[in-house]
């Protein structure tokens, strides 16, 4: 028997059968369900996704799973912040109806041998080359979560803009009958995008980190009237290094749809960056306003 939901209280399920039973019962009763996949260590950005789900659906179901398949061998899988008790309290206060928090063996039982890979320009640029296998790990786990829950809609943040585009493509290509919704990035007062990994930043690094959105915003503002995007992004990179960033992995203007490098005259471009500050890798993006890239 699946645990029965009680109004106002969060139902926590740990296995796929219970998740399916819960969502199926709601949908059979005529209610719509929005899914919010996360890796936990929740913040206001995640809660904004829950609220977006509740704005369009009767029930919001969050998932918390730190997915080993999307971390490279030298990345922070072991160190990734975890704290389920606090996460549950936050989800409850935001009005989520359920949390699916499976263990690794529930998602990847012995013998698991399938992967979902999105090829082409959506994964060839930006984070793709810097995190080999990352988007395959994301596409695989999100395909599973969508098929496990079969919600009406699923919500993802624009902070991870490339991830959002990869997930849209994957769901479309695999005919997964779930609407993929993007939600605008939630930022701190100084512009820094909320991110679970911001917890790694020292107070000094936290101060420096605010330079990232400032540089993106300035490039986005200047790009439309500018002849040489390279000169603009090179100046931005120099500004980040001067501010104290250790390394800029990329800082480029790319098409929002294909994620290929933008050409002059583009009507829908965004500035994208990934940069390292101490042990923290920060990513962010900003829409180019006006015409031309």
Ligand X SMILES: CC(C)(CO)[C@@H](O)C(=O)[O-]
Q: How many whole angstroms separate alpha carbon 231 and alpha carbon 43?
A: 36
Question: What is the closest distance, in whole angstroms, from the C-beta atom of residue 25 to ligand ATP in the complex?
Answer: 26
- The SS3 assignment for 33 reads strand
Q: How many whole angstroms separate alpha carbon 206 and alpha carbon 73?
A: 26
Which string of x and - marks every residue 15-44 that binds ligand ATP (by CB under 6 A)?
Answer: -----------------------xx-----
- The SS3 assignment for 101 reads coil
> Do residues 262 and 254 lie in contact, with contact meaning Cβ atoms separated by under 8 Å?
yes
Whether residue 267 lies in the annotated active site? no
Of these, 197, 217, 264, 276, which contacts ligand ATP (CB under 6 A)?
A: 197
Nearer to ligand BAL, 133 or 191 (CB): 133
183 touching ligand ATP, by CB under 6 A: yes
Compute the CA torsion angle 167, 85, 209, 66 (nearest 10 deg).
-40
Q: How many whole angstroms separate alpha carbon 211 and alpha carbon 20?
A: 44
| Marked catalytic residue, from 46, 125, 134, 267 | 46
266 labeled binding residue: no
35 labeled binding residue: no
Structure tokens at 24: 């199926």
Q: Which does 269 bind (CB under 5 to 8 A by kind): ligand BAL, ligand ATP, ligand X, none?
A: none
Question: What is the closest distance, in whole angstroms, from the C-beta atom of residue 277 to ligand ATP in the complex?
Answer: 13
70 touching ligand BAL, by CB under 6 A: yes
Of these, 156, 245, 272, 286, which contacts ligand ATP (CB under 6 A)?
A: 156
Q: What are phi and psi of 129, to 5 degrees?
A: -65, -25
Burial class (CB in 10 A: 0-12, 13-18, 19+), 192: buried
- Which residues make up each annotated binding site? 39-46, 70, 157-160, 163, 186, 194-197
Q: For binding to ligand BAL (CB under 6 A), which residues are involved?
A: 70, 160, 163
Q: Which residues are marked as active site?
A: 46
């Amino acid at each position: 028997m699946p645990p029965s939901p009680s109004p106002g209280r969060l139902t926590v399920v740990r296995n796929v059968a219970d998740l399916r039973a819960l969502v199926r019962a709601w949908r059979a009763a005529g209610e719509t369900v929005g899914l919010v996949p996360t890796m936990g260590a929740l913040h206001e950005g995640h809660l904004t996704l829950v609220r977006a789900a509740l704005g369009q659906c009767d029930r919001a179901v969050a998932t918390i799973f730190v997915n080993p398949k999307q971390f490279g061998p030298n990345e922070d899988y072991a160190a990734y912040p975890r704290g389920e008790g606090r996460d549950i309290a936050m989800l409850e206060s935001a009005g989520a109806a359920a949390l699916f928090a499976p263990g690794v063996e529930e998602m990847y039982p012995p013998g698991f041998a399938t992967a979902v890979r999105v090829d082409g320009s959506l994964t060839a640029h930006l984070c793709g080359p810097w995190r080999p296998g990352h988007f395959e790990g994301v596409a695989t786990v999100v395909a599973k979560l969508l098929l496990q829950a079969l919600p009406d809609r699923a919500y993802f943040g624009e902070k991870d803009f490339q991830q959002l585009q990869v997930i849209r493509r994957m769901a479309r290509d695999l005919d997964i009958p779930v609407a993929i919704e993007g939600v605008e990035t939630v930022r701190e007062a100084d512009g820094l995008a909320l991110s679970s990994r911001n917890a790694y930043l020292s107070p000094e690094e936290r101060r420096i980190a605010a330079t990232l959105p400032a540089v993106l915003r300035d490039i986005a503002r200047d790009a439309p009237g500018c002849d040489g995007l390279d000169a603009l992004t090179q100046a931005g990179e120099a500004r980040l290094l001067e501010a104290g960033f250790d390394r800029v992995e990329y800082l480029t203007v790319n098409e929002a749809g294909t994620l290929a490098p933008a050409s002059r005259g583009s009507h829908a471009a965004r500035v994208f960056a990934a940069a390292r500050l101490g042990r923290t890798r920060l990513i962010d993006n900003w829409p180019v306003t006006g015409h031309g890239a």
